Amino acid sequence: MNFLNFIWLIPVLPVLGALIQLLFGRKLSNKAVSFVSVGLPGLSFVWAVGCFFQFLGLPEQSHHVFIKDIYSWLPAGAFHLSNGSLGYLDVHVALQLDPLSAVMMLVVTGVGFLIHFYSIGYMAHEGGYYRFFGYMNLFMFSMLTLVLADNYLMMFVGWEGVGLCSYLLIGFYFLRKSAADAGKKAFVVNRIGDAGFLLGMMLIVVTFGSLNFLEVSRAARSGQFEVGNGIVTAICILLFIGATGKSAQIPLYVWLPDAMEGPTPVSALIHAATMVTAGVYMVARSNALFALSPTALHLVAGIGAATALFAATIGLVQNDIKRVLAYSTVSQLGYMFLACGVGKYDAGIFHLMTHAFFKALLFLAAGSVIHALSGEQDLRKMGALRHKIPTTYGTMAVAALAISGIPPLAGFVSKDDILWQAFAGPHGHWGLWAVGWVTAALTAFYMFRLIFMTFWGESRVPHDVEHHIHESPRTMLGPLVCLAALSVIGGFIGWPKALLGGAWFEKFLDPVFEGNLPAPAHGYSQGLEYLLMLLSIVAAAAGIYGAYRLYVQRPELPERAAAAAGPAYQVVLNKYYVDELYDALFVNRSKDLGNGLAAFDLGVVDGGVNGVGWSTRMSAELSRLWDIWVIDGLVNVAAFVVKVLSYPARVIQTGLVQSYAWFITLGVLIFLAYYLIHF
Amino acid sequence: MTPVPTDYYVFLGSALFIIGVVGVLTRRNVLVILMSIELILNAVNINLVAFSQYFRAVDGQVFAIFVITDAAAEAAVGLGLIIALFRNKETVNADEIDLLKW
Amino acid sequence: MLPLIAFFILSAVAIVSAILVITRRNAVHSIIALIVTLFAVGGIYLLLHAEFLFAVQVILYVGGIMVLFLFVVMLVNLDVTLTQAQFNRQWQVAVVTAGLLCGLLAYAFYNGGRGFGLPQPPLGPEPQHNTQAIGMALYQNYMLPVEIASLLLLVAMVGAVLMAKRKLE
């Protein structure tokens, strides 16, 4: 079976599902919908696995890249590049399978399939079942297009597609105003990032003459451009702006917490495992460009680190279970960008993969908890659930351990790799490491705060809900267990050399980053690496212990601490008022602009049109006056002249014979006079 | 016996003529108007006959006969008109007959 | 001498009675005055050796036309007109016009050197009897006009009869 030849099936199978659901889904039963829309992504995953193994077996000459060209999409023709040489732009619809896209493809199809499977149980009682699965399948198609594309433009198509599906799915419960608003906010904020992405793409076209990843990377590595080139820096910064929009970094992260309005599987798939990682994928893809711009790399690392810390502090005090997880996602994405920013792209991608496992698991388990509590999401109304919903508790605890970085779970391996590179790598800085380390402690703390408040301690569940607490059905628990297993063993493929691992993941991704992997330079010793590793574990343990003390042993402490902190607590609870700031600076100003333009339209444009109408009326008025006074006047004058001139003629007609006789006499007189006087 | 100079006859004729014209233009009574017309005709006759005598030709007198004939015819018709008019309008005043007024 | 005196008397009578004609209120008086005038004019004809014409004048004019006038005056409402205005509204203008006419004629006379530049009368014998001469002229030279005059009289007769009829049948 030649999987690679039909690699296009991987995105196409889900889109078939989307088409079926969106065209006929209304008439299908839930069972039929599930069969189609979970089966097709499942098939897609199978195909992806087949392609992957076939790819592994490809000969060396292929340079670890497999391209499947579908057709030539935009043969745009010849044009001049910014350096004067002639370029020829020819954008294809083609799929590229290389190690990076293989990893992404497997994560997307695998985790995606598990989440689809989970949704059968979760969404069973919701209206619009077919619509949900239609949109989810459409999302799978867009995301797979994004990761399997072989050029920036096709990736952008997928980019936009996932943005659209995010909007559709966040606003799934569209009758709720908060959900509709959240969807709108996500789309608009994404759009701002997309503007940067587009500008970056256009600069790539005029600088490199192509949008194809291989061609651009080859041109960038050819030595044609010096390190620190201004144009390339601009390209990288613009692309990164796009990444901040999609991957929720500062300053465009504000949509992600609001996106929790969507159903929990949506949060799991789109806003944890896959869509938000598209930015990281894009930066990794463009590593050749970023290598030419240390400024951009510093920016990426700086923003990544700052976002990680910032989001973690907000997550500490949130009371909605999904909000905590949302801020956690933002924070972890910061880690991934930090990794890319210090040049260790494979660490970023590794963390992306492990994060997909445990974050998806956390969300799905949270969904399970919410399902058990008949819709309750507030942590303050939960507690002592671990014996009532044990499977959910068990899997969620595993995920929490993983995200906190407790070895040997997956999170430890990836996070530790990032922290080591942040400290010791050629582009690293101890400041970056410090921020990352503190964030790790905070991560462990808030994660276990969530666990303890939900599953331990005294039950704060309202009485009427307590009776209905039940474990979720097996269709929901199955994926939880799978993901828990992956969270445990997922780390092993990237086990670092320092701990006698094979670092296979790193080696696997090597060809893509072509020597961008920095060696453990600066002559740092192995001992330092062990020390930092130990420090990370200590930080995690401290976080867990702190959460235990505050939320299990002495539950009254958090409230006292909050009261003591006073206004500082309020600021953090209200997310540092960033949303309000954006409202004042941008949102309301845009509305003002809109109102101003509307007033302009009404006043000037409509006024102009009305003015034209008025002037037409006025000219008609003038015509009327002209007609009455001048035209009629002339006619009246003519009549008057006739009357005046005819007056004598009229008056003469007396009807009296004698006056006529007199006239005759007068005539005779005149003739006679003339005759006599002249002759 | 010096004959009367022809000029005198012409003066007489002109005087009668002017009197007749004044009568036609001035009097209201239609009969008087007709009579004034007869005066005029007679003045003309005088003129004709005077010159006939001067030139020793009889043509003038013949013309005068015709004038008288014409005057007779005209008087007859005119008086018939007056009678018809009187029957319709009960008046013989010329300035009360103004049906052709504007 | 005698002809001159006769002329002056006759002309005075003619002019005075002519003035009377146009100024009398009573129409009958005007008619009588006109008769007198016509007689005077006939006398003038006699003076001019036009005896036939005098006869025609008296018989036709006075005896026929004037009598006709008198008959018509009787038929017409006479008493009413006695109290009405005599002269119409344009009499001033008419008099002025007549005066102008008079002035014009006077001017002509004056320019003619107080007389008319009349050519010399032909020398020759005095004509024979007036009536004979007129008869000869009428029936030889002026035959056509005589016939036309008779036609005219026929027309006038028919017209007069038609006019005076009460109703057209």
Instruction: Give the distance from residue C141's alpha carbon to the nearest chain B alpha carbon, in angstroms.
Output: 9
- pLDDT confidence of residue A380: 83
Q: Which residues 108-137 of chain C have a CB within 8 Å of chain B?
A: 115-116, 118, 121-122, 124, 126-127, 130, 133-134, 136-137
List the single residue in A with minimal CA-CA distance to B18.
A665
Q: What is d(CA A42, CA A259) in angstroms, rounded to the nearest whole number?
A: 26
Q: Which residues of B touch A662 (CB under 8 A)?
A: 25
Best of C35, C48, C147 to disrupt the B interface by mutation (most B CBs within 10 Å)? C48
Q: Which residue has the higher pLDDT, A536 or A428?
A: A536
Q: Which residues of C touch A669 (CB under 8 A)?
A: 97, 100-101, 104
Q: What is d(CA C135, CA A270) in angstroms, rounded to the nearest whole number?
A: 151
The distance of Cα A514 from the centroid of its chain, to the nearest Å, equals 29
A666, C97: Cβ pair inside 8 Å? yes
Q: Considering only CA atoms, which of B101, B95, B26, B24 is closest in space to residue A655?
A: B101
CB atoms within 10 A of CB A260: 24
- pLDDT confidence of residue A456: 83
Q: CA geometry: angle at B33 spanning B28 and B39, to 5°?
A: 145
- pLDDT confidence of residue A214: 87
Q: Which residues of A touch C109 (CB under 8 A)?
A: none
B69: pLDDT confidence band, cut at 50, 70 and 90?
very high
Share of chain A above pLDDT 70, in %: 97
Best of C26, C41, C147, C162 to disrupt the B interface by mutation (most B CBs within 10 Å)? C41
Instruction: Give the distance from residue A666's alpha carbon to the nearest chain C alpha carbon, in angstroms.
Output: 7
- pLDDT confidence of residue A428: 75
DSSP-derived secondary structure for A81-114: -TTS-EEEEEEEEEEEE-HHHHHHHHHHHHHHHH
Mean pLDDT, residues A201-230 taken together: 85
SS3 helix, strand, coil % of chain A, rounded to 5?
Answer: 75, 5, 20
Mean pLDDT, residues A397-401 taken together: 91
Q: What is d(CA A170, CA A179) in angstroms, rounded to the nearest whole number?
A: 6
Mean pLDDT, residues A316-335 taken together: 91
pLDDT at B34 over 90: yes
Q: What is d(CA A10, CA A282) in angstroms, rounded to the nearest whole number?
A: 20
Best of A656, A664, A666, A672 to disrupt the B interface by mutation (most B CBs within 10 Å)? A656
In the complex, which subunits touch A with 3 or more CB pairs below 8 angstroms? B, C
Place of tokens 């504000």: A254
What does the pLDDT look like over C23-82, one tens digit per residue?
Answer: 988 889 999 999 999 999 999 999 998 999 999 999 999 999 999 999 999 888 677 778
Instruction: Give the distance from residue B27's alpha carbon to the nearest chain C alpha carbon, in angstroms.
Output: 5
CA distances from A520 to A171, A304, A427, A428 (A): 47, 21, 11, 11
3-state secondary structure string across chain C:
CHHHHHHHHHHHHHHHHHHHHHHCCCHHHHHHHHHHHHHHHHHHHHHCCCHHHHHHHHHHHHHHHHHHHHHHHHHCCHHHHHHCCCECCCHHHHHHHHHHHHHHHHHHHHHCCCCCCCCCCCCCCCCCCHHHHHHHHHHHHCHHHHHHHHHHHHHHHHHHHHHHCCCCC
Best of B40, B98, B99 to disrupt the A interface by mutation (most A CBs within 10 Å)? B98
* End-to-end Cα separation, chain B, in angstroms: 61
Q: Which residues 633-672 of chain A have a CB within 8 Å of chain B?
A: 650-651, 653-658, 661-662, 665
φ, ψ (nearest 5 deg) of residue A373: -90, 20
Share of chain C above pLDDT 90, in %: 51
Q: Which residues of B touch C49 (CB under 8 A)?
A: 53
A669, C111: Cβ pair inside 8 Å? no
**CB distance from A86 to chain B under 8 Å?**
no
- pLDDT confidence of residue B2: 65
- pLDDT confidence of residue A601: 84
Query: Is it true that the peptide bond before A558 is cis, omega within 30 degrees of 0?
Result: no
What does the pLDDT look like over A63-104, one tens digit per residue?
Answer: 677 888 888 888 887 887 777 778 788 888 889 888 889 889
**CB distance from C145 to chain B under 8 Å?**
yes
Best of B19, B24, B29, B93 to disrupt the A interface by mutation (most A CBs within 10 Å)? B24
Instruction: Find the CB nearest C11 among B1, B12, B55.
Output: B12
- pLDDT confidence of residue A563: 74
**CB distance from A652 to chain C under 8 Å?**
no
In the Cβ-directed half-sphere of A352, how many Cα atoms lie within 13 Å?
32
CB contact at 8 A, A20 and A39: no
**CB distance from B92 to chain A under 8 Å?**
no
Instruction: Give the distance from residue C92's alpha carbon to the nearest chain A alpha carbon, in angstroms.
Output: 11
DSSP character for A57?
T
Cβ-based burial of A361 (10 A; exposed 0-12, middle 13-18, buried ≥19): buried
Instruction: Give the distance from residue B100's alpha carbon to the nearest chain C alpha carbon, in angstroms.
Output: 18
A655, B102: Cβ pair inside 8 Å? yes
pLDDT at A522 over 60: no
C87, B75: Cβ pair inside 8 Å? no
Q: What is d(CA C1, CA B91) in angstroms, rounded to the nearest whole number?
A: 50
Q: Which residues 15-54 of chain B have a CB within 8 Å of chain C?
A: 15-16, 18-23, 25-29, 31-32, 34-36, 38-39, 42, 45-46, 49-50, 52-54
DSSP character for A74?
E
Tell me the two tokens of residue A679. 């002759």
Domain ranges of chain C: 1-81, 129-169
Tell me the two tokens of residue A282. 């894009």
Q: Considering only CA atoms, which of A372, A324, A328 is closest in space to residue A477?
A: A372
CB contact at 8 A, A157 and A198: no
Q: Considering only CA atoms, which of A201, A232, A217 is closest in space to residue A91?
A: A201
Least confident of A29-38, A250-259, A494-503, A623-632: A494-503
DSSP-derived secondary structure for A95-164: EEE-HHHHHHHHHHHHHHHHHHHHHHHHTTTSS-HHHHHHHHHHHHHHHHHHHHBSBHHHHHHHHHHHHH
Tell me the two tokens of residue A614. 């008025």
A607: pLDDT confidence band, cut at 50, 70 and 90?
confident
**CB distance from C9 to chain B under 8 Å?**
no
Instruction: Find the CB nearest C94 among A656, A662, A672.
Output: A662
CA distances from C133 to A467, B47, C138 (A): 170, 19, 9
**CB distance from A534 to chain C under 8 Å?**
no
What does the pLDDT look like over A576-589, one tens digit per residue?
Answer: 888 888 888 888 88
Instruction: Find the CB nearest C18 among B3, B9, B39.
Output: B39
Number of cross-chain residue pairs from A and C with Cβ atoms under 8 Å apart:
25
Q: What is d(CA A388, CA A380) in angstroms, rounded to the nearest whole number?
A: 18
Q: CA geometry: angle at A165 spanning A164 and A170, to 5°?
A: 105
Instruction: Find the CB nearest C104 among A658, A662, A669.
Output: A669
Q: Which residues of B touch C34 (CB under 8 A)?
A: 35, 38-39
- The three-state secondary structure class of A378 is strand
Least confident of A362-376, A522-536, A597-611, C44-58: A522-536
**CB distance from B24 to chain A under 8 Å?**
yes
CB contact at 8 A, A116 and A63: no
φ, ψ (nearest 5 deg) of residue A262: -75, 170
pLDDT at A516 over 60: no
pLDDT at B93 over 70: yes
B101, A650: Cβ pair inside 8 Å? no
Place of tokens 């600066």: A522
Prediction ipTM score: 0.91
- pLDDT confidence of residue A420: 84
What does the pLDDT look like over A93-133, one tens digit per residue?
Answer: 889 888 889 889 999 999 999 999 999 888 888 888 889 99
- pLDDT confidence of residue A62: 65
Averaged pLDDT score across all residues of chain A: 86
Mean pLDDT, residues A368-380 taken together: 85
- pLDDT confidence of residue A498: 66
List the single residue in A with minimal CA-CA distance to C93.
A662
Instruction: Give the distance from residue A616's alpha carbon to the nearest chain B alpha carbon, in angstroms.
Output: 49
- pLDDT confidence of residue A526: 72
Averaged pLDDT score across all residues of chain B: 90
Place of tokens 């003390």: A549
Query: Is it true that the peptide bond before A408 is cis, omega within 30 degrees of 0?
Result: yes
C37, B42: Cβ pair inside 8 Å? yes
- pLDDT confidence of residue A606: 83
- pLDDT confidence of residue C53: 93
In the complex, which subunits touch C with 3 or more CB pairs below 8 angstroms? A, B
A673, C104: Cβ pair inside 8 Å? yes
Cβ-based burial of C124 (10 A; exposed 0-12, middle 13-18, buried ≥19): exposed
Any alpha helices (H) in A425-523, and if so which ranges? 430-455, 463-466, 474-489, 504-513
pLDDT at A359 over 70: yes
Instruction: Find the CB nearest B90 among C44, C77, C121.
Output: C77
DSSP character for B97?
-
C90, A659: Cβ pair inside 8 Å? yes
Q: What is d(CA B31, CA C65) in angstroms, rounded to the nearest whole number?
A: 12
- pLDDT confidence of residue A31: 84
Instruction: Name residue C35's amino acid.
Output: I
Tell me the two tokens of residue A569. 């607590």
B25, C91: Cβ pair inside 8 Å? yes
A662, C90: Cβ pair inside 8 Å? yes
A662, C107: Cβ pair inside 8 Å? no
A658, C90: Cβ pair inside 8 Å? yes
Q: Which residues pair with A93 in a beta bridge?
A: A71
Q: What is d(CA A215, CA A380) in angstroms, rounded to the nearest whole number?
A: 55
* End-to-end Cα separation, chain C, in angstroms: 62
- pLDDT confidence of residue A564: 77
**CB distance from A660 to chain C under 8 Å?**
no
Domains and CATH numbers, chain B: 6-92 (1.10.287.3510)
In the Cβ-directed half-sphere of A547, how many Cα atoms lie within 13 Å?
26
Mean pLDDT, residues A654-672 taken together: 90
What does the pLDDT look like over A424-463, one tens digit per residue?
Answer: 777 778 888 889 989 999 999 999 989 888 888 778 887 7
**CB distance from B89 to chain C under 8 Å?**
no
- The three-state secondary structure class of A80 is strand
* Class of CATH domain C1-81: mainly alpha
